[in-house]
Amino acid sequence: MMKKSKCISSPPLLCMVAGIFLMMGIFAPNFVSAQQGATVTGVVRDTEAEPIEGVTVLQKGTTNQVTTDAEGKFSIAVSGTNGTLVFSSVGYQTQEVTLRAVTTPLEVVLMADVQDLDEVIVVGYGTMKKSDLTGSVTRVALEDRPVPNVNLTQALSGASAGVNIQQNGLAGGDASLSIRGKTSLSASDNPLIVLDGIIFNGSLSDINVNDVEYIDVLRDASAAAVYGSRSANGVIIITTKKGKTGAPRISVNANYGFQGMTNNPMKVMNAEQYAIRMVDYFYQQELYNWYRTNPTSDAGKPVRPDITNRETVAARLRTEEERQNYLAGNEIDWVDQVLRKGASIANYDASFSGASERVNYYASGSVAREEGILKNDQFERYTFNSKVDGKLTDWLSLGLNVNYSYRDYSGLNASLADARVASPLANYDLDSPDSYATYLTNEGYMPHPLGPTKATNEDIRNNLFFVANAKVEVPFVEGLTYDFNYSNTFYYRKNNTFWPVSIVNGNGNNGRAERRPEENRQWIFNNIVSYNRTFGDHDVNGTLLYSREKYFGQSYILRVEGFENPLLGFNNLNMGTVVTVIPPGDGDPARAWSEQGVSYMARLNYQFKRRYMITGTVRRDGFSGFGPDSKFVTLPSVSLGWVMSEEPFWKEGSSIYTKLRLSYGQNGNQGIGRYSSFAQMGTEYYVYDSNTSISLFPNRIGNPGLRWEKTSSVNLGVDFGFWNNRLAGSVDGYLAKTSDVLVRRKLPGAAGYADIWSNIGALDNKGLDIELRSENIRSSQVNWKTNVVFSINRNKIAKLYGGKNDMDVGNEWFVGEPISALYDYEMLGGLWTEADLYAGRTYTGWYPGQYKYADLNGDNRIDPQNDRKIVGYADPNYRFSIGNTLTWKNFSLYVLLNSIQGGNGYYLRDNYTVVNVNSRSDDVLRMNQSAVRPYWTPDNGVNNATGVYNSAAVTSRIFESRSFVRIQDISLSYTFGNELLKRMGGISNLQVLLSGKNVYTWTKWSGWDPEIASANANYPAMRNVSLGLRLTL
């Protein structure tokens, strides 16, 4: 039998590309002749040349069958002539081989299913076959993403619709992660992370990416409902690898590479621009004084000094040292000085695993080293992971899973923020680059950008996470099991720093040492009873949970100053004379804390004929952080599934699979942190004469009524697979309504507090997630798969306080508008010109070189009361990513394109400090400025940035679209063929890969990376290239 290629009705984008390949035959059939009654032997492997154990080999039309052994080998006595062998195994496409002529041993390659609907998905306190799911769950198999990643969040980018990753530019830095839009105004957006079935409060950087088998993303309320209170922001379930039956496996991965800046570098003024700006600053002051006389023509207009005269320019510089350097033509590029050339990244890990009938084990170790592109920014990580499961008796299994990670972030990185503002004319001895001043040119605004690198710092984070579990398959009652698991996370961080007297922080009082130990611990236990049974056409699956957890810790900062002898730094604090203890964080007085949670959950899943399925879940959660009368919340959910393609009316033998899913559920959000309902007192040191005294004052207002934020949502989804899943995917639409929204609401100044945690109003979210996976070409030589992910989300505030004037300008919250609405003056584009002034067209007090704003109420003045409006939204319009994997013979190319798009006023962010030279009043004269846009002068025709001196009565933020398309990942790999491996002996798989990350970005965002969190980013995005090796013995 010969398989035929079929045109795939994929989205237009794919179709075009796909069309090119459609002519090609996809599958090369094997023709084998068999002698009558002969024995056929052979081996079955997967596409990566791994032998497959347990493949059923059946002679078609007979009951004659065998299975392959651990090495994938089989031997079958064939009866009759022209027999056909059928090879089938779970997770692989069934293949038929017609026997004509024998060329034994037979080599059979089985293709994995693109989307295996029988794969087992983790649904929280249990697993379920994907085909039985009623909620919206996506699995990300890391095997499919052949890119070396140090951090798991990087690995997730573009992986699933609705999963949003925001990059971080520091070595070992955690990217931020969110799922499906904002449900909350100010409570946390972080999804819940579950590691091997246990809620994980550690950092994703604690996990070695290569230990992860797959990640399941629970997106809708019903899927997430099992995690109730924690799941309003979605759930990410990480499952680590475990041993597989067969010979023990040893596998080794190694990657080495380099990183540098992306293609959007930082632009700051060079010496010439820096110096001339000073001339213009003062010239424009004069000019504005003249403008204020309301001239009607150029007569009497001050003349710009001659900037070609270096003496004139030099005279305007602030310090003698800058004047001398300017005249001598000395110049230094500070951004260049803080960047590290050839920053390297390396990542090595090894694992061994195996399984026998009773025991299953997996153990791994890894080392990762990463250098950031800022000097002295580095990261080192060691992880150890072991997982053992044993089946002690027929009814009892025990397991232990231990994860340990050691992360070392030691060293303070050079400051890009300071480099951006540092004077290019400051004295700097290039021959001895270690010589430096605390403040360049004695200017307090210009700390030496390399200053932090002179501090001694050790920042080491240890995380130990273990889970012990016991599973009892209750005898006498078939299908009833009881699971108990207990987990503990110990986190300890030491972060010690010594700033010598020569740098900022240390220069105040003869050096400063700080020790900031932080330790916390979490325990959770879960009791799970589940019942799983099939009665004829009926499948029943029930789960009951009772769980408790406690999370507690302590931290503080011990600061010692006044070192008479700095030699021993933070290791001998007795050398210092002034000892103070300060709270660890801004607004976080917690030096010792604990929080507790209790959960009950019941879930029942029922299926009829594997066609109709219903899942109901009720969860009741208690969290200590809410007010005394509102600790508990009850969250129900129900979901329905219908596999349409299993219906008798559907065409028999169709290659189409369709399932409809409908769910309704409630989730809660507790992401406000502990003690939020309490009013809190703060303390500070004070002194009467020279007697130290403690002062006490309220610094946070409490809200004892603080209660759960609840989100109710409806999700309608369809899963489909066409042509035996060559095109598969899912489409999910959802509506969500959040009530009692937790907000950190700003208060009017007269209240005496900045803000208060409150529950207010309601918020609506709606959106669409689309995922498509297609196998465009499938043949033994060439294979091309495409994975497209698209998501769009809209939210709006449905209700605020309920008053008649229901908007909150101060917080930028408006009923009927998205949470991310931006309220400001409307820029009309362009600047006032001298012609406008002379003709009297400017408003009173407005002059050339200032932005034009819309006068909304037409009173010829621009004021905050009447002339602001919603000018856009910070949220994205939509996101998409396209991953392509092209395999030819032993080569494989993977390209991931990732994009977040604005348009129509979406995805805006203020970029004022970067695009406009007049960053903040006269700061423009005190420090270097960015040079993304030239500033206005009366004669240079610039129409998108103000003058360098600009005394506008009001200024708006300058919103720019952050839309971008990025080549996120490219990797090219080569897998060594079996022949070659045989000769090398003992190696079952060997792969080399070359990959790049953040390869190229297209964006109109001015300067720097559109995705890096802050417009004023103090660290750049990184681009890297690395070479990797994967070896399995």
Partner 1 sequence: MKLKNIKTKGALCLLSLLMLGTACSDMDFLEEVPRDFLAPQNAYNTIEGINQGITGLHFTVRNDWYFGEELQDVGTIYKALGTDIAFHGEDPNSTRFLCNYVNYLTPSSEYVREYWNRPYRLVQRVNLLVEGISNADESLLTPEERNAYIAEALFFRAWAYRHLVSFFGDVPVVTEAIDFAKTDFVRDPVSVAYQQMEEDLSFAVQYLPNPGSEKEPGRITKGAAYHLLTEVYLMQHKYTEAVTAATHVINDFGYRLMTERFGSNPDVFGSGDVYSDLFAYGNQNLKENKESIWVIQFEPSTVIGGSNNRWNRAFAPAYFRMGNTPDGKPAFRGELVNGAYTGYSDSLGRGVAWIRPTNLSAYTIWEGNWNNDIRNARHMIKRDFYYDSPESAYHGQRIDFSKYPSSAGRDPIRDTCQYIYPYFVKFADPMHVLDNEATSGNGASYKDVYAMRLAETYLFRAEAYIGLGELDLARDDINTVRSRSHAKPATTAEIDIDYLLDERARELYGEDCRHFVLRRTGKLVERVRKYNNNPLNPGLNIQDYHVLWPIPQEQLDLNIDQQWTQNPGY
Give residues 835-874 in contact with partner 1 (rule: CB under 8 A): 845, 863-865
- Answer whether 613's CB lies under 8 Å from 134's CB: yes
Q: In which residue are the tokens 């075009």 written?
A: 16
Judged by CB under 8 A, does residue 507 bind partner 1? yes
Least distance to partner 1, CB of residue 968, Å? 39
User: Is the Cα dihedral 226, 231, 234, 235 positive or negative?
Assistant: negative
Which tokens hold the place of 219? 């997106």
Among 842, 951, 973, 998, binds partner 1 (CB under 8 A): 951
Q: Which is nearer to partner 1, 387 or 674 (CB)?
A: 674
User: Which of 292, 312, 315, 293 lies closest to 304, judged by CA?
Assistant: 312
CA neighbours within 13 Å on the CB side: how many for 439? 14
By CB under 8 A, residue 688 contacts partner 1: yes
475 touches partner 1 by CB under 8 A? no
Give Cα 505 to chain centroid, integer Å.
32
Find the Cα–Cα–Cα–Cα dihedral 369, 373, 378, 384, rounded to 10°.
-30
- Using CB under 8 A, which of 3, 244, 318, 794 touches partner 1? 318
Q: For the CB of residue 819, give the shortest distance to partner 1 in the complex, in Å.
A: 17
Choice from 190, 337, 596, 658 touching partner 1 (CB under 8 A):
596
Judged by beta carbon, residue 679 or residue 735, the one nearer partner 1 is 679
921-940: which residues touch partner 1 (CB under 8 A)? 921-922, 925
Distance CA 611, CA 487 (A): 37
Q: Which residues of 898-925 are buried (b: 16+ CB within 10 A; e: fewer)?
A: bbbbbeebbbbbbbbbbbbbbbeeeebb
By CB under 8 A, the residues from 604 to 663 that bind partner 1 are 622-625, 631-632
How many Cβ atoms sit within 10 Å of the Cβ of residue 1033?
15
Nearer residue to partner 1 within complex by CB, 815 or 981: 815
Least Å distance, CB 319 to partner 1, is: 6
Q: Which of 558, 638, 701, 762 binds partner 1 (CB under 8 A)?
A: 701
Nearer to partner 1, 288 or 409 (CB): 288
Residues 753-772 as x/- pattern, contact with partner 1 by CB under 8 A: x--x-x--------------
301 forms part of the interface with partner 1 (CB under 8 A): no
The residue from 143, 306, 311, 336 that contacts partner 1 (CB under 8 A) is 311
Among 63, 296, 691, 940, binds partner 1 (CB under 8 A): 691
- Piece in contact with partner 1 (CB under 8 A), picked from 359-367, 500-508, 876-884, 936-944: 500-508
Instruction: Tell me whether residue 347 or residue 510 sits nearer to partner 1 (CB atom).
Output: 510
Nearer to partner 1, 170 or 314 (CB): 314
Report if residue 266 touches partner 1, rule: CB under 8 A.
no
> Could you say which residues in the range 658-687 bind partner 1, by CB under 8 A?
674-675, 677-687
Does residue 594 touch partner 1 according to CB under 8 A?
Answer: yes
Angle between helices 271-291 and 320-328 (to 10 degrees): 120
Q: Which residue has the tokens 């980018």?
A: 157
980 binds partner 1 (CB under 8 A): no
SS3 content of the chain, % helix, strand, coil (to 5): 10, 45, 40
Q: For residue 904, give the H/E element and its range.
A: none
By beta-carbon proximity to partner 1, the closer residue of 624 and 978 is 624
CA distance 945 to 960: 13
Contact partners, residue 362, CB within 8 Å, separation at least 6: 240, 241, 242, 243, 351, 352, 353, 385, 386, 387, 388
Site string for partner 1, 804-823 (x = CB under 8 A): -x-xxxxx------------
Among 438, 469, 487, 637, binds partner 1 (CB under 8 A): 438
Could you say which of 689, 858, 983, 985 contacts partner 1 (CB under 8 A)? 689
328 makes contact with partner 1 (CB under 8 A): no
C-beta atoms surrounding 178 within 10 Å: 18
Q: Do the bridges between strand 709-722 and strand 480-499 make them parallel or antiparallel, or are there none, so unpaired?
A: unpaired
The span of 175-183, 257-265, 587-595, 973-981 binding partner 1 (CB under 8 A) equals 587-595
Q: Does 585 bind partner 1 (CB under 8 A)?
A: no
**Using the rule CB under 8 A, is 750 a contact of partner 1?**
yes
Q: How far apart are CA 90 and CA 130, in angstroms?
A: 13
- State which residue, 116 or 561, has the beta carbon closest to partner 1: 561
Q: Compute the least distance from the CB of residue 523 to partner 1, in Å.
A: 11
CA 794 to chain CA mean position, Å = 20
**Which residues 540-569 are close enough to bind partner 1 by CB under 8 A?**
546, 548, 561-562
Is 525 a residue that touches partner 1 (CB under 8 A)?
A: yes
Stretch that binds partner 1, among 49-57, 385-393, 583-591, 1000-1008 (CB under 8 A): 583-591
The mark string for 95-114 relative to partner 1 (x by CB under 8 A, - otherwise) is --------------------
Category of 452 on φ-ψ map: left (φ > 0), alpha (ψ -120 to 50) or beta? alpha
80 binds partner 1, rule: CB under 8 A:
no
* Residue 579 found at the interface with partner 1 (CB under 8 A): yes
Q: Are 615 and 134 within 8 A, CB to CB?
A: yes
Angstrom distance (rounded) from CA 928 to CA 933: 14
Which of the ranges 335-343, 744-752, 830-838, 901-909 carries the binding residues for partner 1, by CB under 8 A?
A: 744-752
> Strand 964-975 to strand 989-1003: parallel, antiparallel, or no bridges (unpaired)?
antiparallel
Residue 20 or 477 with smaller CB distance to partner 1: 477
- Among all chains, which residue has been given the structure tokens 């899942």? 615
DSSP classification of residue 24: S
Residues in 896-925 that interact with partner 1 by CB under 8 A: 921-922, 925
CA distance 665 to 637: 4
Give the residue among 440, 443, 432, 410 at the shortest CA–CA distance from 334: 440
Contacts (Cβ under 8 Å, ≥6 apart) of 589: 583, 680, 682, 699
- Under the criterion CB under 8 A, does residue 589 sit at the interface with partner 1? yes
How big is the site for partner 1, counted in residues (CB under 8 A)?
Answer: 109
